[in-house]
Amino acid sequence: MKEKQSQVSRRDFLKMSAVAGAAFALGGGGVGTVMSALNQKTASAEVSPASQVAFYGTHQAGIVTPQQTYMYLASFRIISKSRSDLISMLKEWTRFSDLSVAGGYRQSSGNEQLPPSDTGETIDLGASNLTMTYGFGAGFFMKDGKDRFGAASRKPLYLQDIPRMPNDHIDADFQAGDIVAQICADNQQVAFHALRNLIRLASGQAVVNWIEEGFISAPEGKTPRNLFGFKDGTANLQHQNPEGFNQVVWADAGEPAWMKGGSYLAYRKIRMLLEVWDRTSLKAQEDTFGRAKESGAAYGAKEEFEPVQSSELPPTSHVFLAKQSRQAIHRRAYSYTGAIDPRTGQLDAGLLFLSYQRNPQEQFIPMLRMMQSKDKLNEYTQHIGSAMYACPGGLLEGQYIGQALLEG
Ligand SMILES: C=CC1=C(C)c2cc3[nH]c(cc4nc(cc5[nH]c(cc1n2)c(C)c5CCC(=O)O)C(CCC(=O)O)=C4C)c(C)c3C=C
Ligand SMILES: [Fe+2]
């Protein structure tokens, strides 16, 4: 997990952003004009390449990248009606992402009468394996019958909101939004800094629908455990190689060109009824998954990564049902905790379930539907958020986020 970012774009950005920040602060438009007038370079902090993940490449970082400890997931609604202002914002986000994943920060203009260009809390913290991954919701392509940004003809093949499921408790006001940003890092302050500044740079163009905050932790080389205490992510190993990723994760032929090397993100916010679970016997807990709690081994096996034999599993167990779907997905889930639910006095906590797949209609939706109707896990969970996004392929240096989508 490392790489060298372009020094030129990073340094250019340091200076350009200082002025862009000033333009925003003064409420001025024409940021692009101000920025393009600049060519002076400013040095950035030295950051260990070992803690950097490349922003540019065939695929976006943050999809098959080893999971970092912290995640923010933020849904944005575009309020601007202007395609060119949207593009300016995406260019700003691109420069900021490029800079941040390299551990840089925005240098101030030197004018003390203006707010600093960077919020400052990551100075000296380094890159912390920061990744910033972007996806587009169905509303980006068509909303209320309108093709707001001229993108409708380039809608990807399988992008649709996840249909309502039998056991759903989704808030009636929940909205997927137009753009999602998945921000992951091994330092929470670094991840939050990235989120906060994306919001800042979106000022006047896009607003936040919702933000989720996740965490996950495991010793090096071990599978992390979810809040039910079970190893979660074991089966990912089965496709964790370039060929496996092609079969499971990366978008297929037949997709618009901008989706080449991209993927679909399925998101479910799943509340886990911890108090109910904690009163459940170990046997019933293990029957729920069809795996042993401590070792993670499937029923009938001794070790975590031994193949699963479905005939050994309870027919309502989570893993049995996943296997029955005969589909694979790449899971990248994070735990979340909130406050105590004032109505029940119980903990509001659970799983921010994220999976990436090349075709959610074939891989994800039938699996979810089957699980929602038969899974023993449903006794202990409630699905309270739901969204689907199309995540473009990776960027070449010099391109901006969504360029291939917007400019075809
Ligand atoms: C629709 C897809 C899935 C949802 C939603 C989901 C929710 C969910 N899962 C766990 C805990 C575990 N899941 C495990 C395996 C597993 N889960 C899915 C899919 C969904 N999970 C798949 C495809 C698999 C892999 C099955 C296989 O091929 O073996 C496991 C077992 C260990 C592992 O492989 O990760 C656990 C534990 C929770 C708690 C949860 C919702 C709160
Ligand atoms: Fe699962």
Contact by Cβ (8 Å): 329, 248: yes
Using only the alpha carbons of the chain, give its radius of gyration. Answer: 22
List phi, psi (to 5°) of 404.
-65, -30
Q: For residues 336 and 154, what is the distance between their CA atoms, to the nearest angstrom?
A: 34
Residues 6+ apart with CB under 8 A from 221: none
Average pLDDT, stretch 223-232?
98
**Six-digit token string for 253:** 């032929």
Determine which residue's CA is closest to atom 1 belonging to ligand 1.
368
CA of 158 from ligand 2 middle (Å) equals: 22
Assess whether the C-beta atom of 289 lies below 6 angstroms from ligand 1. Answer: yes
Q: For residues 14 and 324, what is the distance between their CA atoms, to the nearest angstrom?
A: 52
* Global confidence as pTM: 0.90
- Please give the biggest Cα pair distance in the chain: 71
236 closest CA partner among 331, 308, 307: 331
For helices 7-25 and 83-101, angle between their N-to-C axes, nearest 10 degrees: 130
CA of 289 from ligand 2 middle (Å) equals: 8
The answer for 216, left when phi > 0, alpha when psi is -120 to 50, beta otherwise, is beta
Distances (CA, A) of 166 to 163, 241, 384: 10, 35, 13
**Residue 94 confidence (pLDDT):** 98
Which of the 8 DSSP states describes residue 117?
S
Average pLDDT, stretch 91-117?
92
Q: Which of 303, 318, 337 to mutate to test the pocket of ligand 1 (most atoms within 8 A of CB)?
A: 318
Burial class (CB in 10 A: 0-12, 13-18, 19+), 225: middle
Q: For residues 339 and 155, what is the distance between their CA atoms, to the nearest angstrom?
A: 38
The closest-lying atom of ligand 1 relative to the alpha carbon of residue 236 is: 34
Number of domains in the chain: 1
Q: Where are the alpha helices (DSSP H) in 74-131?
A: 83-101
Assess whether the C-beta atom of 21 lies below 6 angstroms from ligand 1. Answer: no
The closest-lying atom of ligand 1 relative to the alpha carbon of residue 270 is: 42
Assess whether the C-beta atom of 226 lies below 6 angstroms from ligand 1. Answer: yes
CA of 157 from ligand 2 middle (Å) equals: 26
Residue 42 confidence (pLDDT) above 60: no
CA of 348 from ligand 2 middle (Å) equals: 19
Ligand nearest to the CA of 377: 1
**Six-digit token string for 302:** 């001794």
Q: For residues 373 and 221, what is the distance between their CA atoms, to the nearest angstrom?
A: 34
CA of 394 from ligand 1 middle (Å) equals: 27
- Say what the alpha-carbon torsion angle 363, 366, 370, 372 is, to the nearest 10 degrees: 90
Of the pLDDT bands very low, low, confident and very high (cuts 50, 70, 90), residue 108 is: confident
CA of 289 from ligand 1 middle (Å) equals: 8
Residue pointed to by tokens 């000296």: 124
**Which regions of 51-130 does DSSP assign to beta strands (E)?**
70-78
Average pLDDT, stretch 251-258?
93
Q: Domain span at residue 255?
A: 1-408
Pairing state of beta strands 334-340 and 179-185?
A: unpaired
Of the pLDDT bands very low, low, confident and very high (cuts 50, 70, 90), residue 248 is: very high
Which of the 8 DSSP states describes residue 66?
P
- Range among 31-45, 105-119, 367-381 with highest mean pLDDT value: 367-381
Q: For residues 283 and 7, what is the distance between their CA atoms, to the nearest angstrom?
A: 56
Of the pLDDT bands very low, low, confident and very high (cuts 50, 70, 90), residue 50 is: confident
Distances (CA, A) of 295 to 225, 230, 333, 365: 11, 9, 20, 30
Assess whether the C-beta atom of 297 lies below 6 angstroms from ligand 1. Answer: no
